[in-house]
Amino acid sequence: MKKDYYAVLGVAKDATATEIKKAYRQAALKFHPDKNQGDKAAEEKFKDVSEAYAVLSDEQKRKKYDTFGADNFAQSYSTEDIFKDFNIDDILSQFGMRGNGWGNFKFRRGSGGPSAGANVGGGMFDDLFGAGGARGSARQPTAAPTKGKDAEVPILIGFFEAMNGSERPLHLTIDGQEQQLTVKIPPGISTGKKLRVKGEGHRGMAGRGDLHLLVTVADDPRFERKGNDLHVTAKVKPSVLLLGGSAEVETLTGKKTVKVAAGTSTASLMRIRNHGAPLLGKTGEQGDLYIRFELDLTAPLSEAQVHAAEALREAGL
């Protein structure tokens, strides 16, 4: 069960060991069972403050509690684990209180009772902490330490960054802590894909989860991506489509001049093999580049162009 041990003792999270010990002494004096005979509420409070002190007075337990939070700590530490090597007799005697021979809290796993040789003070201990140290008639098995949850963070990358691959420095805040890392972006990555970075997610008792980067690739005004293929538009003069010629087109590696066959239609597509997007995870393989031709008309037309257009019309073109 989740507990704020600092709140139980009434101290700040940055309290010193001395302040924690003083707070426990005051609470133990107030709620000690000898002073509150038959008061179940006081017994519960004594149990809670003792548990809080057992954790916060132990440097290692306190560090884990502060690092992983109350939820993860409660899942991974049983009452037996919390009170291991915690000698309440010695502690209470320092405060001038009688411990009733409780001694170290020791347990026998799964038996529902204290272990042989444990220095336990009869029924009072069982009433306070339950037979066998668990809260209840039988001790529940300790949950295995769990790994932290995976974290998912969106990332926007440029079009050519996705085409060529790159290394991207990232500045992230996870679990309230800033971290810097560099991720490799493979060539051919597309929107909707996830990049996994091991061990950079949320913290847990058994280590950190993974970081998943949800990719969005920015658009480029020159290229339309369809799977691994790219589509571009090239403007050409009417005479090139009618009589043939050449046109300049954009590719991933720069401008390229292509031949245009006579009678080419604006509805047709020209394909250039292996000039499309890289295939993700397949070095050296690419999709295709498709070119759609668009008429490049100058307006207004010169006198010579008007005469040429009229001649085409008279010729039935």
First to last CA, the chain: 86
Which tokens hold the place of 247?
A: 């046109």
pLDDT, tens digit, 9 for 90 and up, residues 239-283: 899 899 999 999 999 999 999 999 899 888 999 999 999 999 998
What pLDDT is recorded for position 310? 85
pTM: 0.55
Give Cβ neighbours of residue 103 (< 8 Å, ≥ 6 apart): 87, 88, 89, 118, 119, 120, 121
Under 8 Å between Cβ of 33 and 98: no
* pLDDT at position 38: 82
In this structure, what is the dihedral angle of CA atoms 26, 31, 36, 40, given to the nearest 10 degrees? 170
What's the rounded mean pLDDT across residues 311-317?
82
- Percentage of the chain modeled with pLDDT above 90: 41
Share of the chain above pLDDT 70, in %: 80
Strands 269-272 and 289-295, bridge-based pairing: antiparallel
Q: Is 131 helix (H, G, I), strand (E, B) or coil?
A: helix
Task: Return the beta strands (E) in 104-189 as ranges.
Answer: 151-157, 166-174, 177-185
CA distance 240 to 295: 9
Q: What is the pLDDT of residue 143?
A: 59
Q: Looking at 34-38, 54-58, 150-154, 209-213, which range is the least confident one?
A: 34-38
Q: What letter would DSSP give residue 104?
A: B
Confirm if 190 and 217 have CB atoms less than 8 A apart: yes
pLDDT tens digits for range 109-141: 333 333 333 333 334 344 444 444 444 434 455
Please, what are the domains in the chain? 5-133 (1.10.287.110), 151-217 (2.60.260.20), 224-314 (2.60.260.20)
C-alpha 289/C-alpha 231 separation (Å) is 6
pLDDT at 73: 82
pLDDT digits (tens, 9 = 90+) for 70-80: 877 877 777 77
- Residue 88 is predicted with a pLDDT of 67
pLDDT at 254: 94
Pick from 3-17, 68-82, 131-145: least confident: 131-145
pLDDT of res. 304: 87
Closest CA to 5 of 59, 50, 67: 50
pLDDT (mean) for 21-30: 89
Structure tokens at 144: 């295995």
